Amino acid sequence: MKAFEAVQHYFNSAADVLGLSDELRTLLATPEREITVQLPVEMDDGRLVSLIGYRVQHNRVRGPMKGGLRYHHEVDLDEVRSLASLMTWKTAVVNIPFGGAKGGVTVDSRAISSREKERITRKFVDEIHELIGPDKDIPAPDMGTDHEVMAWFVNQYNKYEGFNPAVVTGKPVEAYGIPGREEATGRGVGILTIKSLGRLGYKVPGATIAVQGFGNVGSHAAKFLSEAECKVVAVSDLSGGYYNPEGLDIMQVVRYSREHGNSLAGFPGAKAITNDDLLELDVVVLIPAALGGVITTENADRIRAKLIVEAANMPVRPDADDLLAARDITILPDVLANAGGVTVSYFEWAQNRQFYQWNLNRVRGELDHMLSTAFEQVWDLAVEHKVTLRTAAYMVGIQRVALAAKLAGLTS
Ligand SMILES: NC(=O)c1ccc[n+]([C@@H]2O[C@H](COP(=O)([O-])OP(=O)(O)OC[C@H]3O[C@@H](n4cnc5c(N)ncnc54)[C@H](O)[C@@H]3O)[C@@H](O)[C@H]2O)c1
């Protein structure tokens, strides 16, 4: 099943419970606009290479479209389309006034220099600046892009459209960014893991946790949860997994990673395991925070966690989702679990429109409030309709987008 088909599968499961008409399904599922652009870029050695960039604008009925910009060698139109539609449901689940979009350039971000990355970014803006903007479509960082890329993006956009930092979020704090954006997704994962443990009747102190991926999201989630006295027993990154049944000292892991070029390779004080082993550990909570598609029909039977919190986008394949549900393993779905990032992006956009800098306490307080509200709504709906949390989350999102489409006169 390809990526967009997978999102459609979840969309249709929720649409069935809601009894949505075929006409409305087609309206809500179809992207509004798909842009493919050619990016001829000069590399440092003088070669001219022609890259392909995408921006899919899925739905704008609830507000300007919002979604990251990914630089990765596996980026293609289907992946961008799936992630754009996921953003429509995610922004609606947490009830921020945005639609959904996503962008990407097919390039290996680790194989290009910083100057090459800058030229790719500026060329991409050259091609799409008329189609984006603070009231139209607001990109943000994703895999392979960061606050530096966003600063180049704004600078290039301003040359065409005039000064307007609200055109992207995830900017450096010193250049119209917001404090707390970097930690936001991982912090949100932590907040919602604790709430889920409470609803499932587990004690938070001592709850065992395994985290796959120790980048931005995984490291901040692990830090938040260890500060809440959970026992983080395993972490991993591209170099492999590190397991200590007594619990890892997460600040030591963070320091080690920082001092070793963002790699955990050779981390002492823990048993080396594989990324596959980590997924199958006997823990209360499993947090996949690296890649999509890591839990499949191949390994679903061997998953021993009681709760899976989807920090990454689509880490569980749809057919594995059914197997896990049949085994009563609770999944907190990506559209809710990792929505902390886009929520603080919304605060950044609002801050830019007000030209008033928010402080960290305000960001954290409002993030907690918005995620907690969404969590309670989704959990209660799941209980009421006896459906999974994923179906309930899609139901919340779809209902909000459908109502907005109706009020706008787009459907009867
Ligand atoms: N950053 C955000 O705000 C945000 C928001 C929503 C969703 N997400 C999703 O969360 C996931 C992680 O994002 P991030 O921002 O932390 O990325 P990142 O690049 O900062 O970190 C990714 C981590 O995963 C590890 N990794 C990469 N390939 C791996 C593999 N094959 N096996 C195991 N580990 C591997 C890397 O070593 C790194 O530790 C992605 O799926 C992303 O789409 C991120």
DSSP symbols for 315-333: -B-HHHHHHHHHTT-EEE-
Tokens of 375: 């969590």
Q: Is 215 in the pocket of ligand 1 (CB under 6 A)?
A: yes
Confidence band for 369, pLDDT divided at 50, 70 and 90: very high
Q: Is 312 in the pocket of ligand 1 (CB under 6 A)?
A: yes
CA–centroid distance, residue 143 to ligand 1 (Å): 7
pLDDT at residue 75, as a whole number = 96
pLDDT at 97 over 90: yes
Question: CATH 3.40.50.10860 in the chain, residues?
Answer: 31-166
- Whether complex ipTM tops 0.90: yes
pLDDT at residue 412, as a whole number = 79
CATH number of 182-337: 3.40.50.720
DSSP SS3 for 328: coil
Tokens of 219: 């490291």
Atom of ligand 1 nearest to the CA of 214: 39
pLDDT at residue 403, as a whole number = 96
Annotated binding site for NAD(+): 185, 216
Tokens of 301: 């039977």
Tokens of 130: 């008329």
Instruction: Burial-class residue 161 by CB neighbours within 10 Å (0-12, 13-18, 19+).
Output: middle
User: What is the spatial distance between Cα 29 and Cα 258, in angstroms, rounded to a whole number?
Assistant: 42
The mean per-residue pLDDT over the stretch 307-335 comes to 96
Percent of the chain with pLDDT over 90: 98
Q: Name 113's Cβ contacts closer than 8 Å, sequence gap at least 6.
A: 44
Annotated binding site: 66, 90, 185, 216, 345
Annotated binding site for substrate: 66, 90, 345
The mean per-residue pLDDT over the stretch 81-86 comes to 96
pLDDT at residue 271, as a whole number = 97
Question: CATH 3.40.50.720 in the chain, residues?
Answer: 182-337
Q: Name 383's Cβ contacts closer than 8 Å, sequence gap at least 6.
A: none
List the one residue out of 17, 4, 34 whose CA is nearest residue 398: 17
pLDDT at 135 over 90: yes
pLDDT at residue 411, as a whole number = 85
Q: Is 213 in the pocket of ligand 1 (CB under 6 A)?
A: yes
Q: How far apart are the first and last CA of the chain?
A: 32
pLDDT at residue 169, as a whole number = 98
Tokens of 54: 């995408």
CA–centroid distance, residue 201 to ligand 1 (Å): 29
CA–centroid distance, residue 408 to ligand 1 (Å): 37
List, for residues 175-192, the tens digit of each pLDDT value.
Answer: 999 999 999 999 999 999
CA–centroid distance, residue 14 to ligand 1 (Å): 27
The mean per-residue pLDDT over the stretch 258-274 comes to 95
User: What is the spatial distance between Cα 273 and Cα 275, in angstroms, rounded to a whole number?
Assistant: 7
User: What is the spatial distance between Cα 404 and Cα 91, in angstroms, rounded to a whole number?
Assistant: 13
Confidence band for 368, pLDDT divided at 50, 70 and 90: very high
Q: Is 214 in the pocket of ligand 1 (CB under 6 A)?
A: yes
From 69, 96, 216, give the residue whose CB has the most ligand 1 atoms within 8 Å, as the site to mutate.
216
Tokens of 204: 């938070």
Cβ contact 267:219 at 8 Å: no
Give catalytic status of residue 102 as yes or no.
Answer: yes
User: What is the spatial distance between Cα 86 and Cα 303, in angstroms, rounded to a whole number?
Assistant: 25
**Residues composing the chain:** 412
pLDDT at residue 191, as a whole number = 98
The mean per-residue pLDDT over the stretch 255-276 comes to 96
31-166 belongs to CATH 1.10.10.60: no
User: What is the spatial distance between Cα 72 and Cα 353, in angstroms, rounded to a whole number?
Assistant: 31
Sign of CA dihedral 32, 36, 41, 43: positive
User: Tell me, what DSSP letter sits at residue 269?
Assistant: S
- Whole-model pTM above 0.80? yes
pLDDT at residue 1, as a whole number = 82
Cβ contact 149:121 at 8 Å: yes
Q: Whose CA is nearest to atom 38 of ligand 1?
A: 215
From 185, 262, 294, give the residue whose CB has the most ligand 1 atoms within 8 Å, as the site to mutate.
185
Q: Report the 3 state secondary structure along 205-243.
A: CCCEEEEECCCHHHHHHHHHHHHCCCEEEEEEECCEEEE
The mean per-residue pLDDT over the stretch 307-329 comes to 96
pLDDT at 269 over 90: no
